[in-house]
Structure 1
Amino acid sequence: MGALAVAQTPSSPPRPRRPTPPTRDPHSPGYVAATELLDGRVPSPAEDGNFIIGPTHNPAPEMTVQEGVPQGTVTEFTMESKDSKIYPGIAREPGTFGKADPDDPAKMIVTTSHPAPYSRRVTVYVPKQYVPGTEAPFIVGADGPDKMLFTALDNLIAQKRVPVMIAISIANGSGDAQGSQRGLEYDTMSGLYAEFVETEVLPLVEQKFNVKLTKDPDGRATMGGSSGGSCALIMAWYHPEWYHRVLTYSGTYVNQQWPSNPETPHGAWEFHERLIPNSPVKPIRLWMEVGDRDNLNANVMRDNMHDWVVANENMAKVLAAKGYHYQFVFARNAGHTDRTVKQQTLPEALEYVWAGYGKK
């Protein structure tokens, strides 16, 4: 008897390897003037402006569990796409990628994205000092869970360097970049993701954990890295009545939006190209970081709007020109959303972002 034929699934084409980003000099022509700190130092949370740190990135002491410090509770629950009125779910076929529009290199064409279900985890940190049922400030983070954030908050709250706050760490809806659920959530220049959080996530958090989340935008913060970082600013930009405080690592202030929107054809690149310079100042306080080896041309588009370092440098320029309270950290010896940089800087970043809270 002949051997049975075994059906084989064709293998997906390999994704093109990204070239290693060059190391950028923070004193390059066109970059913002910045204060270079001694190696191992981070800026003061009392100072606005531009700073250069590194090349050594040792963890701050607040990033380690400390004996005798009250530890908050960390609990997860799951949200299903079938229960969402805002995000029913999409996915891009595995092994497929978009193509640059030959008539417009700033536009990505994706033909393999389709409806698809997803599950997401929501991780909620409630500090030991929180009194159940009382109104509390909070921070919403992308791409959760974020254990580093929870440890930092334990120590910073105990030291009274930040308010007693709740942290809500929301996982994305899967995938990455154009045509994915994550890309749709984080890279879309609109208030939709903030509206999803406001109407579908926060009510569940209050219901499940007997907490009361403040409605005061000065007591609400957002944070994230990469596209989660641009999402954090997008939330506050389109809904400043909900959020005033933003913290971003390697923010994707580049042209990553899909589907294309004629009102913001260059995606989050529009922040420093047009939106911030041409808009009245909004009540947003922003801490942001970029690495000297951060992403450069990370996809097939050659639109000159995919350099993460230039994007963040441009953000610092326009924020300064408009008089925003911001702190920009350029990290030497650091890659995209560099873990060692976050371990070094997160306590100071949180303290900067929350400066002035409760002192109206």
Structure 2
Amino acid sequence: MDGKEPYELGPDSRPKDGVPRGTVTPHREFESTFVYPETRRTYNLYVPAQYDPAKPACLMVFQDGDEYAGPIVNVPVVFDNLIASGEMPVTIALFVNPGNPGPGAPVYGGTGNRNVEYDNCNADYATFLAEELIPQISQEYNISGDPEHRAICGISSGGACAFTAGWFRPDQFRKVVSHCGSFIEIMGAHNYPSWIRRQYRRPLKVYLQTGAKDLDIKLGHIPLANREMEAALLYRGYDVRLEFGEGGHTLIHGGALFPDTMRWLWSDVV
């Protein structure tokens, strides 16, 4: 996910002198036991320097976690800077990658499990996080169970997945960040604008980002799909923000905006 776009990381995405640095664990492996049986995935965790085991920390989950932990977004550095400045709460980041089938295990979608985990419009992936992976992490860290203190983020199908997690499990996640979200006709996400308008209002805060050069393919037009998402969310009175830029289907613009995204997303918690 690269390309030439008129965006670059700002000072809040780069290390600053005197700012305490959190720790990022090496990759760990996790095997699902009941939502996606026998699939394995890697994940790692960012834990801020200010983490206090006596106080529940907020949690933010990133799909395609290696993309977000890497230099395009520099999530750990952004968190270091904004937690130190008091512009976001003490937050643990869970960078989780899509699952892969183990030896002899069923393949749920394509050659891996990304498609079925991220593109299905159901509660499965959020339930996997809430009832399998997060409880394991909670054995080591004190993570808040308040859904207002839990955010979820992703790009492309991972962005649609983030919204799906909030839509079906607002008891677990109420803050959503979608970069170049694939709200198109892959496995049903093109229905969200209609569902948003007609179904009961969920207590969600939603950040959307896309660009004029995002994908226009036979399954749909991602820039238009995100505008339709914004219109439907505004119609129903959701707390929503759409950033529409010049870029394509990459994290470059979303990465450049990420510090301000976090300020907006967590403004009701700090």
Contact kept, 8 Å, 1:133 with 1:211, in 2: the verdict is no
Corresponding residue of 1:345 = 257
Residue 240 and residue 174 in structure 1: after superposition, are their counterparts in 2 closer, same or farther (change >3 A)?
same
Distance 1:192 1:134 in 2: 29
Corresponding residue of 2:105 = none
Extract unaligned runs of 5+ from structure 1: 1-54, 90-117, 258-266
Work out the number of aligned pairs and report it: 254
What is the aligned counterpart of 1:234 among 142, 151, 164?
164
Of structures 1 and 2, the larger Rg is shown by 1
Kindly indicate whether residue 28 of structure 2 is the aligned counterpart of residue 78 of structure 1: yes
Corresponding residue of 1:306 = 220
Per-residue deviation, residues 231-274 of structure 1 (Å, max 9, x unmatched): 001001001111110111000111111xxxxxxxxx011111x2
Shift of 1:174: 4.5
Corresponding residue of 1:296 = 216
Distance 1:119 1:138 in 2: 22
- Residue type of the partner of 2:12? E
Contact kept, 8 Å, 1:127 with 1:166, in 2: the verdict is yes
Contact kept, 8 Å, 1:247 with 1:350, in 2: the verdict is no
Q: Could you list the structure 1 runs, at least 4 aligned residues long, displaced by more than 4 angstroms after superposition.
A: none
Identity %: 30
What is the aligned counterpart of 2:232 among 308, 318, 329?
318
Q: Which moved more, 1:69-78 or 1:233-242?
A: 69-78
Per-residue deviation, residues 304-348 of structure 1 (Å, max 9, x unmatched): x4211111011111111111111101111x110232x12320000
Tell me the secondary structure at the aligned position of residue 283 of structure 1.
Answer: coil
Q: What is the Cα-based RMSD across aligned positions, in Å? A: 1.8
Match runs of 1:31-180 below 5 Å: 56-81=6-31, 83-88=32-37, 118-145=39-66, 146-147=68-69, 148-174=74-100, 179=110, 180=112
Q: What's the TM-score once normalised by structure 2's chain length?
A: 0.89
Match runs of 1:10-21 below 5 Å: none
- Residue type of the partner of 1:172? P
Shift of 1:173: 1.4
Corresponding residue of 2:116 = 184
Kindly indicate whether residue 117 of structure 2 is the aligned counterpart of residue 203 of structure 1: no
Tell me the secondary structure at the aligned position of residue 329 of structure 1.
Answer: strand
Tell me the secondary structure at the aligned position of residue 90 of structure 2.
Answer: coil
What is the aligned counterpart of 2:147 among 207, 212, 217?
217
Distance 1:182 1:56 in 2: 30
Tell me the secondary structure at the aligned position of residue 26 of structure 2.
Answer: strand
Extract unaligned runs of 5+ from structure 2: 102-107
Kindly indicate whether residue 175 of structure 2 is the aligned counterpart of residue 245 of structure 1: yes
Distance 2:41 2:109 in 1: 19
Residue 163 and residue 225 in structure 1: after superposition, are their counterparts in 2 closer, same or farther (change >3 A)?
same
Corresponding residue of 1:278 = 198
Corresponding residue of 2:104 = none
Kindly indicate whether residue 217 of structure 2 is the aligned counterpart of residue 287 of structure 1: no
Q: What's the TM-score once normalised by structure 1's chain length?
A: 0.67
Contact kept, 8 Å, 1:172 with 1:182, in 2: the verdict is yes
Distance 1:270 1:355 in 2: 30
Residue 280 and residue 128 in structure 1: after superposition, are their counterparts in 2 closer, same or farther (change >3 A)?
same
Higher helix share: 2
